[in-house]
Amino acid sequence: MSSAASTFRGPPTAGRPVFQTSHLGEIEWEPECELFLPAGLPGFEAERRMMPLEIPAQRPLVYLQSLEHPEVCFVTLPVRTIDPQYQLRLSEDDRAALLLDPVRQPEIGADVLCLILLLPASGTVQVNLDAPIVVNLHNSRCIQSFSTERAAGYFRLGDDHWEPVC
């Protein structure tokens, strides 16, 4: 996926700091992979430290595990696995929160990692492409960006494709 995520390697190596999670078991805490969320996430304002984790057999899923509360863990996908043409538009405020260049829009992959939360939806999942989680790859700051101006909308994972949710 990207250098921002840690790969879940099963039982931790002796001597390395570990974090006990509720759903993924013990994970190795890798400071270089830790994300800092200056405002948490809406509904989870206390979650200021999170760790992105990949399980090789479950790629391209990325777990976002809270380092504050072991039971808080989100399942996400890199946005372009859903929509290869997805264009990220961050507001001035969002760019300031991520300490990004205030003038130009960031590039997914080069400047930022862009993840979408999976929402459970009767046996499958849906996503809101208008509320991506954006990580500055250069400083690990992370926010959830949302705006009333975007209209990428909701998509549900059907039998083998993403279909728009009306």
Partner 1 sequence: MLVLRRRVGESIVLGEDIEIEIVEISRTRVKLGVRAPRHVTVQRREAVNVAAENRQASGMLPSYGPDGVDEVLRLLKKHLNGTAKGAGTNADM
The reply on whether position 148 binds partner 1 by CB under 8 A is yes
Site string for partner 1, 76-115 (x = CB under 8 A): -xxxxx--x-----------------------xxx--xxx
CA 133 to chain centre: 5
Q: Which stretch binds partner 1 (CB under 8 A): 8-16, 28-36, 40-48, 96-104?
A: 40-48
Rounded to 5°, the CA angle 121-124-129 comes to 70
Helix, strand or coil, per DSSP, at residue 7: strand
Strands 119-121 and 62-66: unpaired
The reply on whether position 16 binds partner 1 by CB under 8 A is no
Distance (Å, whole) CA 162 – CA 114:
18
CB of 15 to partner 1, least distance (A): 28
Read out DSSP for 115-163?
EEE-EEETTEEEEETTS-EEEETTT-BEEE---SS----EEEE-SSSEE
The reply on whether position 118 binds partner 1 by CB under 8 A is yes
The reply on whether position 11 binds partner 1 by CB under 8 A is no
Of the pair 14, 110, the CB lying nearest partner 1 is at 110
Alpha-carbon distance values, 73 to 64, 91, 95, 161 (Å)? 6, 26, 25, 25
The reply on whether position 33 binds partner 1 by CB under 8 A is no
The structure tokens 């399942």 sit at 75
Q: Select from 15, 17, 56, 120 the one that contacts partner 1 (CB under 8 A).
A: 120
Q: Please list every residue from 43 through 82 that binds partner 1, using CB under 8 A.
A: 43-44, 58, 60-61, 71-75, 77-81
Strands 112-117 and 62-66: unpaired
Of the pair 10, 158, the CB lying nearest partner 1 is at 158
Binding site for partner 1 (CB under 8 A): 1-2, 23, 41-44, 58, 60-61, 71-75, 77-81, 84, 108-110, 113-115, 117-120, 123-125, 128, 131, 144, 146-148, 157-162
